[in-house]
Amino acid sequence: MTVSIWQSNLPPLREVDFLIVGAGLVGCTAAYFAAQAGRQVVITDALDVALGASSRNAGFMISSVDVYYHHAIAKYGHDVTREIWHLAKRSQALWYEFINRAGGTVKFQRTGSLLLAESEAEAEDLAQAADAMLADDLNIIHHKTDPLKRGYFAAIEQPDDGAVQPFELVHAIRQQSGVSVIPNNELYHITQHDDKFVTAYTRMFIFKARQVLLCTNAYSPRLHPYFINKVVPTRAQCLVTEPLVAPVLNTCGYSDYGYMYYRMTFDNRLLIGGGRKQNIALENDTTEDRVTDPVQQVLDNYLKRHFPDVTVPVSRRWAGIMGFTPDSLPLVGVLPDMPDVGFAVGFTGHGLSLGAGTAERAVNMMLHGTHPGALDAKRLEPAV
């Protein structure tokens, strides 16, 4: 958005050292690292802590690249694939540290995870993925048949993964950061005219900040044209059933190449998510946070096909908005026209897999000038 002459000095000026925009998983984790490094940090959010994708997700902490491992090697090269896997492991370790420090206030279960094949063809692909992962010494188990006996064809088990209550996690990270959040305070314009300060126009304040980090994920293209076609808002949907008498699963994970996913909640509800593959046009390029019948129909059908023993009604359906990048890897960098405005965005549905390590890299880039590695957003900029 632009700023008119009438708006230009309306809200009071507030000087800040390090301003973070977005109080989701990534913004709160970045706040933790910046505060630990001794910076005076403030977070501003259009809504409040964890009201975006960070508490609308399925809560899987699954180490993953966006496609099966051998396909990732073909897509990104072996070095980048290994780097992203290590970033996922780093993120997982950081989440587990936050959870442990939270002393029981964040529900979490180290369930492990299963990547399940929905067809013979996917099972063959999974076998190749398993070979490539084992060749890289990754901690996985290849099941040549369906370990759940629910109509799948094969699986890769990742014993280190887990499932969390994501809303509680973000609040715990915010609390451990010691940083305060200004809620209901959308950033609508940002400029940097000289080397000294970034000017950030928000509803309640015009901030003069030494540095700003945008953790606005799916909503980034609304903030600056740099993100147009680099971060595409993409809807994801879930459902949960009423509580079951006993859990029908002791794991969580994906099937159909990650397009479908499942877990138990901590009060024994079955959660099913996905349904985007059959509805790409409907679900892509939208910030409309609502459920749609065609996607929910896919979820209902999946529930009937793989969990016919679950006969309790569905109790809740919801949606959230993810930020997809063209190559599915997150983006870390600084805005080309504003050297003190950095960003960590574009998690492509994998913020609980890659978010903590990405936030750490973004803060290190802002504070110490370190290179963000394979996450460097310059990879998407036209060569000059």
**What residue ranges bind ligand FAD (CB under 6 A)?**
21-27, 44-47, 51-54, 56-60, 186-187, 215-219, 223, 236, 238, 273, 320, 322, 347, 349-353, 355
- Least separation in angstroms between residue 218's CB and ligand FAD is 6
Reference 15, options 203, 200, 193, 179; nearest CA is 200
- Least separation in angstroms between residue 347's CB and ligand FAD is 3
* Amino acid identity, position 39: R
Rank residues 80 and 349 by Cβ distance to ligand FAD and give the closer one: 349
- Least separation in angstroms between residue 384's CB and ligand FAD is 29
**Cα 162 to Cα 98: distance, rounded to the nearest angstrom:** 14
Rank residues 127 and 259 by Cβ distance to ligand FAD and give the closer one: 259
Helix H or strand E segment including 41 = strand 41-44
Burial string for 360-375 (b: 16+ CB within 10 Å, else e) reads bbbbbbbbeeeebbbb
Rank residues 73 and 215 by Cβ distance to ligand FAD and give the closer one: 215
Rank residues 81 and 220 by Cβ distance to ligand FAD and give the closer one: 220
Rank residues 45 and 340 by Cβ distance to ligand FAD and give the closer one: 45
Helices (H), 18-137: 25-36, 69-76, 78-101, 120-135
Rank residues 53 and 213 by Cβ distance to ligand FAD and give the closer one: 53
**Cα 78 to Cα 90: distance, rounded to the nearest angstrom:** 18
Rank residues 112 and 349 by Cβ distance to ligand FAD and give the closer one: 349
- Least separation in angstroms between residue 211's CB and ligand FAD is 16
Task: Phi first, then psi: give them for residue 269, nearest 5 degrees.
Answer: -100, 150
- Least separation in angstroms between residue 304's CB and ligand FAD is 20
**Cα 260 to Cα 176: distance, rounded to the nearest angstrom:** 33
- Least separation in angstroms between residue 350's CB and ligand FAD is 5
**Cα 75 to Cα 54: distance, rounded to the nearest angstrom:** 27
Q: Between 69-76 and 78-101, two packed helices, what is the crossing angle to 10 degrees?
A: 120
| Secondary structure (DSSP) of 160-220 | T-EEE-HHHHHHHHHHHHT-EEE-S--EEEEE--SSS-EEEEESS-EEEEEEEEE--GGGH
- Both structure tokens of 65: 């690249």
Rank residues 155 and 362 by Cβ distance to ligand FAD and give the closer one: 362
- Least separation in angstroms between residue 66's CB and ligand FAD is 11
Distances (CA, A) of 89 to 83, 181, 197: 10, 28, 36
- Least separation in angstroms between residue 319's CB and ligand FAD is 7
Q: Between 166-177 and 78-101, two packed helices, what is the crossing angle to 10 degrees?
A: 80
- Least separation in angstroms between residue 209's CB and ligand FAD is 13
- Both structure tokens of 320: 């959230």
Q: Are 78 and 135 spatial neighbours (Cβ–Cβ below 8 Å)?
A: no
Rank residues 98 and 347 by Cβ distance to ligand FAD and give the closer one: 347
Rank residues 132 and 164 by Cβ distance to ligand FAD and give the closer one: 164
- Least separation in angstroms between residue 196's CB and ligand FAD is 23
Q: Between 25-36 and 351-368, two packed helices, what is the crossing angle to 10 degrees?
A: 40
